[in-house]
Amino acid sequence: MSAFLNAAVATTATAVDPACAEPLPVLGRDVTVPLVTGGEVTYAALDYAASAPALQRVWDDVAAYAPYYGSVHRGAGYLSQLSTDLFEQSRVTVAEFLDCRPADQVIFTRSTTDSLNLLAAVLPAGCQVFVFETEHHASLLPWSNAQVTYLNAPRTPDEAVATLERALADREPYGPALVCVTGASNVTGELWPVKELAAAAHAHGARIVLDAAQLAPHHPVSVQDLDVDWVAFSGHKLYAPFGSGVLAGRADWLQQAEPYLAGGGASRKVARREDGGVDVEWHTTAARHEAGSPNVIGVYSIASACRALTEAGFDSLVARERHLIAKVREGLAEVPAVRVLSLFGDEAPRVGVISFVVDGWNSSHFAAALSAEYGIGVRDGLFCAHPLVRTLLGSEPQTQGECGAPEAAPGERSLNAIRVSFGAGTPDEHVDRFVRAVKELVADGAKWQYRTEEGRCVPAV
């Protein structure tokens, strides 16, 4: 391994004391934005559930590596060999971060969505898939080539387990089955009983994949402790927004299926036949599903983020995030017009993702005012989890609409919510400003006029 690679892997972060934890340094923490009411303010990025800012550590690691960038796996040159070492060491780092089993494979993809579509593509014939309607579209929609059972939204963790157990026990025929479940909701932030759901799946001969897109940035994820068969997550939610993702877990279904993409890198040997066709021998390693030139920068950034979060200490990160969650929830609870959305109730453990509606306000209008008048970035809409949000808002769960669009489709009710989300890089001032802004907007109304433009609420000029 090169000296550069050794230095990169050995880099350490300063330990964080839970008693006086500070936010981890992220890019954009000093960016200022203009306000429609005049002046500028430091931008409060409170949309981590969509894409988290890059950790400064990740950016520094990528910048240090960039001059050494080279194509991986088949190059004889020094930079190619160095990049190959870096790429494969990143695979080891991710496996350690997820506490994978020794025989598990770590496959690099573009995102959580890509990872779950990859898994959907390798399902054995006749596989049945069980998924709650509460899932993000990335884990709700990829299973069109399988027999899918959509499970109703549970109102308690115990109900979730019982619902899954009944569905699995009643399935016919009794063949291969897969359960797909989120670790933390991208709408409510609530933690799901993943370990109990995995036990239920395995007791009924099914496997389980964990969508950890919202869980991995906030909590440690152990494949072995949770006893899940696969886990998927995205770099851009893990403070590594460079277009890469991960699918990690059992190798057998992956090895037995045709490659997700056919091309260079996935093939070990290709030969012409006498009849004019070609014979292909595919890799049985992770390379089988990594055809083409991989996103080395994205992969390395994920590994850097994994190291940074591990070294910072999840105990400290979780404790600080709970402090921020309490601030937001207590502040919103003081505003009678605000209703926080929840499946499992106020006492349910959660990550820093909170969605709510405000009586008398269109959510797009409210989010626009937060941005234009306070420099606060949140998200409004249905958050690519339409059935869940519509269930929480009292709409029919099958109602369709555009992802994130504030306007209703013809014949629909106008339904959308506001989501505030934060994490390891969020300072107290951002959540304090958010709570103050909510209270002022509800009490006094917006200071500016707004109009609809291309389906969005924007300041009138």
What is the set of active-site residues?
384
Total H helices, total E strands in the chain: 14, 19
> Residue 391 and residue 397: Cα distance in Å, rounded?
6
Please report the sign of the dihedral spanned by the C-alpha atoms of residue 166, residue 172, residue 173, residue 178. negative
Residue appearing with tokens 């190619």: 80
With b for 16 or more beta-carbon neighbours within 10 A and e for fewer, the 408-434 pattern comes to: eeeeeeebbbbbbbbbbbbbeebbebb
> Residue 448 and residue 215: Cα distance in Å, rounded?
37
Residue appearing with tokens 């230095």: 7
CA 337 to chain centre: 30
Residue 297's CB is within 10 A of a number of other CB atoms, namely 17
DSSP classification of residue 98: T
| Vertex 357: Cα angle to 353 and 359 (nearest 5) | 155
Residue appearing with tokens 């949309």: 47
- Cα separation of the two ends of the chain: 58
CA 36 to chain centre: 32
173 cis-preceded (ω within 30 degrees of 0) = yes
Residue 1 tokens read as 């391994």
For residue 2, what are the CA distances in angstroms to 57, 60, 83, 84, 228?
Answer: 20, 18, 10, 11, 35
Residue 349: what residue type? P
